[in-house]
Structure 1
Amino acid sequence: MKNDSTPITKSRGPAEHEVRAQIVAAATEHFSHFGYEKTTVSDLARVIGYSKAYIYKFFESKQSIGEMICGNCLREIEAEVSAAIGQSDQPPEQLRRMFKACTEASLRLFFRDRKLYEIAASAATERWQTVIVYEANIQRLLREVLQAGRLSGDFERKTPLDETTMAIYLVMRPYLNPLLLQYSFDYTEDAPVQLSNLVLRSLSP
């Protein structure tokens, strides 16, 4: 299934990928120790050994750096979910795997580092472009599974596809959105199975 990757935030200045990668790597490490909100571009410049003005040649703001870091994490989730879906050619099983992969990948990436979690929380709160594209990609993957299920006769066809896609996405959303995930932590072990079973029963033709 086609899965467009979350675009990297556009940077300014020459396309010197190694320098951008160095800035992002240093920022990731610094954010993980001191937190995203407490770190300034001046702090990063001091740690990396570049001038603040030089960093601004590649990134227009601290948020731009945060978006690239967040985008890297979201692309990991997208890739993992897509791979999980690809492990089966049966739409009902694909949907089960999608629920499971979304939850497990989100837990691992959002909570393996509490400081970096601040970036994900800021991204979700402020609706960064990386988050908007990520949500659209997950919805597209879901729509493709549903469409395949309708063609195979596994899923009902009466409800408009877009309506079904959004309804199921909203069921999944507490396990995708970092702000909501922290309140659903106690249910993450059982939720993928129970929710996907419920959804599959509702999709029965």
Structure 2
Amino acid sequence: MNKPTINPGPVRGPADHEVRDQIVSAATEHFRLYGYEKTTVSDLAKAIGFSKAYIYKFFESKQAIGELICANCLRQIETDIRAAVDSADHAPEKLRRMFKAIVESSMQLFSEDRRLYDIAASAATGQWQAVRDYELRIQQLLQEVLRLGREADDFERKTPLDETANAIYLVMRPYLNPLLLQYSLGATDDAPAQLSSLVLRSLSR
């Protein structure tokens, strides 16, 4: 599987500057303690010992900082999903493990780091670039799995690939999208097996 290209969002200055890491670290801690909405750039500047103007040399806004943190959270989920897909040899099992990893990894973020999850939910509400890029990469991974299944004669080929991928993605989306996940919590135990079985039946030749 191809490795994703991550767009961390609008940042300024040298990409590897240690000050940026300090800002992100302080922001992550503040967001965990007080939430994204209640944290201001002034709070971050005070915590690090910099002026607001200096922080703005590296990030154009608080959202830009939040977007980078959000991208890091979503990158971890995506890494888990790709690892699950790569651990199977055949497309049907890849698809089953993809469903399972989506639910488990998303739920882990929701339950273990709720304030950071709230950043991802805000990002989904505002359609931040980090969320759009993440969803696009998951769709591309899904298409790769479907293509492998068709090449191995495991899946039907009559339906256009993009139409099939879009339909399956709509089934996955309540467990992928941070904003929608909170409304799907009651079905997380059985959902991966049930949904993947339903989808695989629809893909049978």
TM range (shorter): over 0.9
User: Is the CA contact 1:5–1:78 (under 8 Å) kept in the aligned structure 2?
Assistant: no
Partner in structure 2 of residue 136 of structure 1: 136
> For the residues of structure 1 that align with 2:15 and 2:113, how far apart are their CA atoms?
30
> For the residues of structure 2 that align with 1:20 and 1:95, how far apart are their CA atoms?
38
Query: Is 2:65 the partner of 1:89?
Result: no
Amino acid of the residue matched to residue 200 of structure 1? L
RMSD over aligned CA atoms reads 1.0
Deviates more, 1:11-20 or 1:146-155: 11-20
User: Is the CA contact 2:11–2:59 (under 8 Å) kept in the aligned structure 1?
Assistant: yes
Partner in structure 1 of residue 108 of structure 2: 108
Deviation readout 1:106-132 (Å, 9 max, x if unpaired): 111233222222211110001000111
Deviates more, 1:189-198 or 1:113-122: 113-122
Deviation readout 1:147-178 (Å, 9 max, x if unpaired): 00001011000000000001000000000111
Residue 77 of structure 1, CA deviation: 1.1
Deviation readout 1:28-86 (Å, 9 max, x if unpaired): 00011111001110111011111100000000000000000000011111111111111
Where do 1:171-182 residues align within 5 Å?
171-182=171-182
Deviates more, 1:46-55 or 1:102-111: 102-111
User: Is the CA contact 1:81–1:102 (under 8 Å) kept in the aligned structure 2?
Assistant: yes
Residue 16 of structure 1, CA deviation: 4.7
Q: Deviation above 4 Å: which 4+ runs of structure 1?
A: none
Q: In 2 relative to 1, CA 203–19 (structure 1 residues): closer, same or farther, beyond 3 Å?
A: same
Partner in structure 2 of residue 22 of structure 1: 22
Query: Is 2:52 the partner of 1:52?
Result: yes
User: Is the CA contact 2:96–2:193 (under 8 Å) kept in the aligned structure 1?
Assistant: yes
SS of residue matched to 1:12: coil
Aligned identity (percent) is 68
Partner in structure 1 of residue 125 of structure 2: 125
> For the residues of structure 1 that align with 2:53 and 2:159, how far apart are their CA atoms?
54
User: Is the CA contact 2:70–2:130 (under 8 Å) kept in the aligned structure 1?
Assistant: yes
User: Is the CA contact 2:41–2:62 (under 8 Å) kept in the aligned structure 1?
Assistant: yes
Deviates more, 1:2-11 or 1:19-28: 2-11
Residue 14 of structure 1, CA deviation: 3.7
> For the residues of structure 1 that align with 2:49 and 2:15, how far apart are their CA atoms?
20
Q: In 2 relative to 1, CA 16–194 (structure 1 residues): closer, same or farther, beyond 3 Å?
A: closer
List alignment gaps of at least 5 residues for structure 1. none
